[in-house]
């Protein structure tokens, strides 16, 4: 696919509103210019989605693909406690995708960007012979000395997670394996959780107010994210399976929903640790904002590993999750 008129295309995708006062030069020049805020650190992340690996054209609309491409990057900023500010988008699109498809992708990008007040400041669109590839970079800011790093966990900390876990993996399973897709309210809910994730920016901002916290977004499954924290902080983490928050839709869908929660991935909720005093503060603040947050375990001294308590038995949790290079 080729864009018929590059300047007309840029004009059509150019946002009608500028959200950030510090954006000095946006789309239209060779590069964007913005002024960083004082006493703030800059946060940057990039994710790439490849057709056939991260999405299938027959199962997701162009709008949903664009929406999710930006959402997963916003979730990375949320995991740092940051404020997403700007994004850049690069798309390599084959002839099997139409110009209307391309505009649909940008519609999805624009809608979630408007929700979080993020400005599009540049990008690139090229043709390719095979699969569509979409890369998004998000730039954000976080207060100095308020970094929610994976290495911040300490023995005695509470382990917590936001939202429900396992829904996205169940939604993908329905899309790939079920004959009837989205025919029930539960199926529709699970599919939407996979296609249209909700980055937890507000929760990340609340966590940034604490004295200390470690934080990860759940992109590759709860087990994988917990191991990243344990290894970065050189601690052991113990969680109780019965405390893992599971939605009623997932409970109705599968007999073993905890496997989806532990190893499914792409929930884009947050998992982290903080001191017990800070946990009490965080829980109260989340309740005020109607944010679901759940204590699922604790951090203890010991080698970097994750233990799971299930029916009065404690086992070593398998270090597993979604891996792009695993066959």
* Structure confidence at residue 323 (pLDDT): 44
Spacing of C-alpha 233 from chain mean position: 22
Q: What residue numbers does the annotated binding site cover? A: 30, 47, 54, 76, 106, 123-124, 150, 217, 219-220, 266, 322
Could you list the pLDDT tens digit for every one of the 327 residues in the chain?
A: 555 555 566 666 667 788 888 888 887 777 889 898 889 999 999 999 999 989 988 899 999 999 999 999 999 999 999 999 999 999 998 999 998 999 999 999 999 999 999 999 998 888 888 899 999 999 999 999 888 999 999 999 999 999 999 999 999 999 988 555 667 899 999 999 999 999 999 999 999 999 999 999 999 999 999 999 999 999 999 999 999 999 999 999 877 899 999 999 999 999 999 999 999 999 999 999 999 999 999 999 999 999 999 988 999 998 875 544 343
Tokens of 243: 């405390």
- The pLDDT value recorded for residue 324 is 40
Q: Hey, what domains does the chain have and what are their CATH numbers?
A: 6-143 (3.30.1330.10), 150-316 (3.90.650.10)
Both tokens of residue 71? 């959402």
pLDDT at position 18, please? 85
pTM of the model: 0.90
pLDDT of residue 48: 96
| Model pLDDT, residue 326 | 45
The binding site for substrate comprises 54, 266, 322
Per-residue model confidence (pLDDT) at position 259:
93
Annotated binding site for ATP: 106, 123-124, 150, 219
The predicted pLDDT at position 325 comes to 34
Q: What is the pLDDT of residues 219-255, one digit of tens each?
A: 999 999 999 999 999 999 999 999 999 999 999 987 7
pLDDT tens for each residue of 144-153: 988 899 999 9
Residues in binding site for Mg(2+): 30, 47, 76, 124, 217, 220
Q: What percent of the chain has pLDDT over 90?
A: 72
């Amino acid at each position: 696919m080729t864009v018929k008129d590059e300047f007309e295309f840029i004009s059509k995708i150019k946002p009608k509103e500028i959200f950030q006062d510090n954006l000095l030069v946006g789309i239209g020049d060779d590069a964007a210019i913005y002024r960083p805020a004082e006493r703030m650190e800059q946060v940057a992340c990039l994710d790439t989605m490849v057709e056939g690996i991260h999405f299938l054209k027959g199962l997701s609309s162009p709008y949903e693909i664009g929406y999710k491409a930006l959402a997963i990057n916003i979730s990375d900023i949320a995991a740092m406690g940051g404020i997403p500010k700007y994004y850049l988008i690069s798309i390599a699109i084959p002839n099997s995708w139409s110009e209307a498809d391309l505009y649909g992708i940008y519609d999805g990008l624009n809608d979630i960007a408007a929700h979080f007040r993020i400005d599009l400041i540049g990008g690139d669109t090229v043709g390719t012979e095979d699969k569509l590839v979409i890369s998004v970079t998000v730039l954000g800011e976080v207060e100095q000395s308020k970094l929610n790093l994976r290495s911040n966990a300490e023995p005695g900390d509470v382990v917590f997670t936001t939202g429900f876990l396992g829904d996205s993996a169940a939604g993908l399973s329905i899309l790939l394996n079920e004959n009837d897709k989205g025919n029930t309210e539960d199926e529709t809910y699970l599919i939407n959780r996979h296609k249209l994730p909700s980055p937890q920016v507000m929760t990340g901002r609340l966590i940034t107010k604490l004295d200390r916290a470690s934080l990860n977004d759940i992109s590759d499954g709860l087990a994988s994210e917990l191991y990243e924290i344990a290894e970065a902080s050189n601690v052991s983490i113990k969680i109780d399976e019965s405390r893992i928050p599971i939605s009623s839709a997932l409970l109705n869908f599968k007999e073993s929903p905890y496997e989806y929660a532990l190893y499914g991935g792409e929930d884009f909720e947050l998992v982290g640790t903080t001191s017990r005093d800070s946990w009490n503060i965080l829980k109260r603040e989340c309740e005020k904002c109607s944010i679901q947050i759940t204590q699922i375990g604790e951090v203890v001294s010991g080698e970097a590993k994750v233990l799971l308590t299930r029916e009065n038995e404690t086992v070593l949790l398998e270090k597993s999750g979604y891996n792009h290079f695993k066959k």
